Amino acid sequence: MLPEKFENYIKQNKLFHKEDKILLALSGGCDSVALFWLLKKLNYKFSAAHCNFNLRNKDSENDEIFTENLCNKSDIQLFKTSFKTKEFAEKNKLSIEDAARKLRYAWFEKIRIENNFSYILTAHHLDDKIETFFINITKGTGIKGLRSISAKKNNIIRPLLFAKKEEIENYCSENNIRYRTDQSNFDTDFLRNKFRHEILPAFKKINPKFQNRMLKNFEIFNDLEKIYNDYIENNKQIVIENRKNLIYIDLEKLLNTPAPLSLLYEIIRPYGFKSSQNEHILTNINNLQTGKLFFSKTHRILKDTKYLIIDTVSETKKNELFYIENETELNEFPVKLSFERTQTIPSELKTENDTALINEDKLSYPLLLRKFKEADYFYPFGMKGKKLLSDFFTDKRINRFERENCWILTTNKNEIIWLIGYRTDDRFKITEKTQKILQIKRL
């Protein structure tokens, strides 16, 4: 019965094919050993991988010996490794469970890539999926947490999610399949075990068909996630603008969507922002001061008058200089520029923000490429007199991120030639006496 259901589940969900090269995560426990024999019975091509986490002294060693003997007798290739899990957990401030998970999946992926395996298979089953669901909602979760464990995510496949733990144990018993028992699975100090042995059995007493009901619930949650994702993607197109490598979120449009809290969370989550930050921003949006900043490890959000603006946390130093010689290739610089020289004065001197026409007669090389500084001033093209760049930015309503990302081209005497993307300096304008014209474009 279980082999037929197993093969049908693989086909119905298009998980993998007979010709695929598979790596099985083999702990030696009931679930992974049952999956081992199901793959073997149905003639799938696979190898196995075993991790010794060194958490259970002699038992960990015996698990490793068991998997070695199983694979040797069955002529299955086995990869194995050993981890100092406790040291890794302490160093990275992780729980033992999280540390073991992080270590094993990183190693599985390494083995997969090095040996050209198509997929990694784990033996998670329906009971695991239900436990994860309740753990997720206990800790706090979004729509993806309701869906719980996926049958297929990238290169990781869980082909036993249809099966109850009891079915797997019965399959092993009926076929005289030996396996190892991990006594730590009964330790209710671990959160998952507390759900497994104390909380979920109470649900089964209330409804003996509780697992079947949850299986139907997961089908509904999957459909809800598709509807949710469709809503998010459609509304992202409405509220987001991309300008000058910055992401602008229109606040008025955001607040007029049916679920602004969820929409904003899904927009900022990929950039490392937490749900608590998302709630704080939206709950206090009308009271947040313009210029207020929020940070993740890689990005920052600026509260502007009409927008939330997302930018990367730049590694470019504010005082970093790039020297441009007369014939320098410009692809190596943080802003890509092209130089084209001509002796013909264009009939139309009006230029786009990404193009500057410069009187090269007045240039002294090397030119300098640098970031904006507070004391900078220039003589804006078409205006009389000099102006602080900070005042120019304020007049043009240029926000903090755009100011910080602005690159300036100067002479070797630190005279500003071009505020790139905004305005050239009047001192380097083309006149009737100009002999050499330099056209610079931002690519």
295 inside domain: yes
Q: Convert the pLDDT of each residue in 386-416 to its tens digit.
A: 999 999 999 988 988 888 888 999 998 889 9
Least confident of 21-30, 219-228, 239-248, 397-406: 397-406
Provide the domain limits for residue 382. 321-442
Same domain for 196 and 59? yes
Tally of domains within the chain: 3
In the chain, what is the greatest distance between 2 CA atoms, to the nearest angstrom?
A: 98
Q: Convert the pLDDT of each residue in 51-98 to its tens digit.
A: 999 998 899 999 999 999 999 999 999 999 999 999 999 999 998 889
Given a contact cutoff of 8 angstroms between Cβ atoms, the answer to whether 89 and 102 are in contact is: no
Q: Convert the pLDDT of each residue in 112-165 to its tens digit.
A: 999 999 999 999 999 999 999 999 999 888 888 999 999 999 999 999 999 999
227 inside domain: no
Q: Is the pLDDT of residue 316 over 60?
A: no
Indicate the pLDDT class of residue 312, thresholds 50, 70 and 90: confident
Indicate the pLDDT class of residue 339, thresholds 50, 70 and 90: confident
Same domain for 178 and 273? no
CATH code where residue 420 lies? 3.50.40.10
pLDDT at 34: 98
Mean pLDDT on 261-290: 90
16 inside domain: yes
Placement of tokens 């695991």 in the chain: 128
b/e 271-308 (16+ beta carbons within 10 angstroms → b): bebeeebbeebbeeeeeeeeeeebebeebbbbbbeebb
pLDDT at 384: 84
Same domain for 256 and 164? no
Higher pLDDT, 136 or 324: 136
pLDDT at 235: 97
**Which of 441, 416, 419 has its CA nearest to residue 362?**
416
End position of a domain, from candidates 312, 336, 359:
312
- What's the pTM value of the predicted model, to 2 decimals? 0.70
Indicate the pLDDT class of residue 346, thresholds 50, 70 and 90: low
Question: In sequence order, what are the residues at sequence separation of 6 or more whose Cβ sits closer than 8 angstroms to the Cβ of residue 341?
Answer: 360, 436, 437, 438, 439
Radius of gyration of the chain (CA): 31
379 inside domain: yes
What is the chain's mean pLDDT, rounded?
90
Same domain for 269 and 202? no
CATH code where residue 91 lies? 3.40.50.620
Higher pLDDT, 190 or 173: 173
80 inside domain: yes
Same domain for 87 and 149? yes
Same domain for 159 and 304? no
pLDDT at 327: 56
Same domain for 344 and 368? yes
End position of a domain, from candidates 148, 180, 207:
207
Q: Convert the pLDDT of each residue in 349-395 to its tens digit.
A: 555 678 888 999 899 888 888 888 888 999 999 888 899 999 999 99
**Percent of the chain beyond pLDDT 90?**
65
DSSP assignment of 44-80, as one string? --EEEEEEE-S-STHHHHHHHHHHHHHHHHHT--EEE
Placement of tokens 């030639």 in the chain: 417
Query: Which of 16-20, 142-146, 188-192 has the highest average model confidence (pLDDT)?
Result: 16-20
231 inside domain: no
Same domain for 193 and 163? yes
Q: Is the pLDDT of residue 317 over 60?
A: no
pLDDT at 128: 96
End position of a domain, from candidates 158, 192, 207:
207
pLDDT at 382: 84
Same domain for 143 and 65? yes
382 inside domain: yes
212 inside domain: no
Same domain for 298 and 355? no
Same domain for 277 and 134? no
- Measured between alpha carbons, how far is 434 from 443 in angstroms, rounded to an integer? 25
Same domain for 330 and 249? no
**Percent of the chain beyond pLDDT 70?**
95
